[in-house]
Structure 1
């Protein structure tokens, strides 16, 4: 299976520059080149890029992806470390959800406090802070 960088991008929904970046930082091995100096990928690289793309879509950091890839290369290894990485990521996602829920509540309250009128008396502008009075 011979794939170009464009084929890899299309198959995984990954931009070509992102694929090059993953090569530069070592997440993807640099592929061999054709006689025309084009990258020549195979099924293994496609699988690895798909793994990276899915992990990134789930919000794993590049460092976490690197660790997961390293762990996945040793198929006989205990998966406790993988579990710890995933659990740590889940805690971070839950913290962000809590923060976003509080932000939504605050924004809704500010929006609901607005009773129309002019910008000079706008509750939303007022709620954004005392610095807004500098504009007057």
Structure 2
């Protein structure tokens, strides 16, 4: 059994984040020692490490909860793929949105080249919403 500091070090998840995950029900309530300290098994540490890898890939808590559920019992690869595909679709939508932002900002910044008075970028930002 590991104390929370050791579980944090081994899993790469911060102590406060572990407490948050427990409050949110992402990890099961942990057994406590007589002094009230959390006691982490090797399986609990491995679950924290899995959560960390999912967070590194940008999965939200609902998706992580679903993936954790799929690791308990008989693994369901089709269901896991479905969760990953939904996440990938969201990422692709974000990429499209970010490319649009990049184009607009590039155009706005280019409007500042060689101006002697005023600032076209600031004028565009101060204009009505949607005009930039």
Please give the TM-score of this superposition, normalised by the length of structure 2: 0.87
Post-superposition offset of 1:11: 2.3
Deviations 1:93-125 (A, max 9, x none): 00101111111121111112102557x611110
Pick 1 or 2: higher relative contact order, CA cutoff 8 A, min separation 6. Answer: 2
| Per-residue Cα deviation, 1:46-88 (whole angstroms, up to 9, x for no partner) | 000011111111111111111111111123x432111111111
Instruction: Give the SS at the match of 2:28.
Output: coil
Work out whether residues 116 and 122 of structure 1, in 8 Å CA contact, stay in contact via their aligned partners in 2. Answer: no
Structure 2 gaps of 5+ residues are none
Partner of 2:22: 23
Matches within 5 A, 1:97-116: 97-115=95-113
Count of equivalent residues: 128
Match of 1:14 in 2: 13
Equivalent runs, 1:1-136 vs 2, <5 Å: 2-75=1-74, 77-115=75-113, 121-130=118-127
User: Is 1:9–1:19's contact at 8 Å kept on the other side of the alignment?
Assistant: yes
Give 5+ residue unaligned stretches, structure 1: 132-136
Aligned-residue CA RMSD (Å): 1.7
Instruction: Provide the rounded CA distance (Å) in 2 between the counterparts of 1:18 and 1:46.
Output: 13
